[in-house]
Structure 1
Amino acid sequence: MAAEPGWYHAEGDPPGTQRFWNGGQWVGDPIASQPPTGAATADTGWHDPPASGGELASPGRRIAARAIDLLILLVVSLVILWPIITDIADALDALPSNASQEETQAVIEDVIEDAPAGRLLGAALFTFLYDFLMVGFLGGTVGKLLLGLRVANADSMRTPPSLDRAGRRALSRLIGLLGGVLGGGVSALVILISLASLVLLFADSRHRTVMDFIGQTVVVKK
């Protein structure tokens, strides 16, 4: 079948049903068709998608939505970590003007090591809950909601996805901030995951990132 992604009747499925065609294969189970008002009911051909949507989100729109979310997370993280930031600034002010780059780096690392773990973990926990709760209950983060995107189950295309899938998606966010607490090895892993997600966003036929594969989700237009 050579057709654009959308909801169609699949050959062999019960009459009056449709399932999602992603451009390369059928996805999920058949569901009841919802033909447009005034249109003749048919067993084949395209039907309007259900309210959850079905058209895949473009990589550009997903990147824009993520940029909005990062801005929100940055502001909240700055509020949570502000005492640590001011401690770093004070420590740097105390250094002589001819301090080497190695000395400067050592001072910053010392301040972070002495910082209350609760604040660092608090910033990481907020990042996790922001993604988990909004996706699990509303179908998308602020950035996605503003740009008309929703996270859906990859098989049924229903949104919001299950809480289990939303939680698995959000774990990558938690690991990202914990990289600053647990060391460079975790940070390197986060960078690799981010790069892999960027490549997959353009290379995968359904524009899925690493978190989509982990959570078994896709991002669709509302």
Structure 2
Amino acid sequence: MSFGDPNNPYGQQQPPQPPQGQPGYGYPQQAPQGIPPQGQPGYGYPQQPGQPPYGAMPPAPGTLQANNGYINVAGLGTVEVATMGRRFGARLIDGLVIGVLYSILSAIGVASAFGASKSIKDCTGMDYASSAYQSCVNEQAQAAGGVIATFFGVILVFFVATLLYEWLMIAFVGATVGKLALGLKVVKENTGQVPGVGGGFIRWIIPMVGAFLCGIGQLLVYLSPFFDNSGKLQGWHDRAAGTIVVKK
């Protein structure tokens, strides 16, 4: 008959102890202090910014984050929607760039027109029935046609330059000089990529069509983000091109 441990006055047997360094059967293994178990967030470990809560599904592309000005864009994650103030500032900078270009082209056009006008001969005092008078009148008509051609040529070059500036920079860079200066970018809402040739052209042509209505239509297009009740500040040209303006 065993009386147990002599140091144990009550004669109760002690439970067997597992070997040190190895978890015994029925004894849960303890995680090292300060390191949370895998798969579970430990207390005091902050969640990474921009990550959905633990166990929550990530928001779908195009989903606004609690109407706080942030939106989830495929390929970019959570980004901030560009405010109208920044977009207006970018448009002002672009206006200055285009204004400088227009001034240069206008100066070239005026110089060309002035040179053409100097070649117009004075036919006064000539005999109207003479061949010299008829020749002088023909030269006047040609010179005047040169002045008119120069005027419309400047307009055409300015139109093409504006087209290439706004269209191609948005298409391949996603931003004009003004948008680059203020940290804005135009991206496709469903991919997060730059708009490309097609998207950039659609986004450019819609305000230009509105410009034919004495500029009122163009102004309405640029103000149309204020009418967007989705919170994404998409203008009519953005909706048509499937784009959105965000902060980089």
1:75 positional shift: 0.6
> Given that residues 202 and 241 in structure 2 are in contact (C-alpha distance below 8 angstroms), is that contact kept between their aligned partners in structure 1?
yes
**Number of the residue aligned with 1:162:** 196
**Which among 185, 195, 209 is matched to residue 150 of structure 1?**
185
**Residue in 2 that maps onto 1:46:** none
Cα separation, partners in 2 of 1:114 and 1:65, compared to 1, 3 Å:
same
Secondary structure of the corresponding residue to residue 54 of structure 1: strand
Report the equivalent of 2:81: 56
| SS state at 1:70 partner | helix
CA distance in 1, matches of 2:161, 2:97: 11
Deviation (angstroms), 1:18? 5.4
Residue 244 of structure 2 corresponds to residue 210 of structure 1:
no
Instruction: Tell whether the 8 Å contact from 2:207 to 2:217 is kept in structure 1 after alignment.
Output: no
Number of corresponding residues: 164
Q: Is residue 93 of structure 2 the alignment partner of residue 68 of structure 1?
A: yes
Among 137, 143, 155, which residue is 1:120 paired with?
Answer: 155
> In the TM superposition, what is the alpha-carbon distance from 1:150 to its structure 2 partner?
0.3
Structure 2 residue aligned with 1:141: 176
CA distance in 2, matches of 1:164, 1:155: 15
The alpha-carbon distance between structure 1 residues 69 and 201, as it changes in their structure 2 partners (threshold 3 A), is: same
1:221 paired with 2:240, answer: no
Output the amino acid matched with 1:220. Answer: V
- Residues of 2 paired with 1:221 and 1:30: CA distance? 15
1:22 is aligned to 64
How far, CA to CA, are the matches of 2:179 and 2:92 in structure 1? 10
Q: Which amino acid aligns with 2:227?
A: A
User: Going by fraction, where is strand more abundant, 1 or 2?
Assistant: 1
Larger Rg: 2
CA offsets per residue over residues 10-55 of structure 1, 9 Å max, x none?
xxx9x77853412589x89966xxxxxxxxxxxxxxxxx54xx631
Q: CA deviation at 1:64?
A: 0.2
Structure number with the bigger relative contact order (C-alpha 8 A, sep ≥ 6) is: 1
Preserved contact between residue 173 and residue 194 of structure 2 (Cα < 8 Å): yes
Q: Distance in 1 between matches of 2:188 and 2:182?
A: 19
Identity fraction in percent:
27
Deviation at 1:62, TM superposition (A): 0.3
In 2 relative to 1, CA 76–172 (structure 1 residues): closer, same or farther, beyond 3 Å? farther
Structure 1 residue 81: Cα displacement? 2.2
- Distance verdict in 2 for CA 1:55–1:123, change over 3 Å: same
Q: Which runs of 5+ in 1 are unaligned?
A: 1-5, 32-48, 92-109, 180-185
Measured in 2, the distance between the counterparts of 1:218 and 1:209 equals 9
Equivalent AA in structure 1 for residue 155 of structure 2? L
Cα separation, 1, equivalents of 2:178 and 2:58: 36
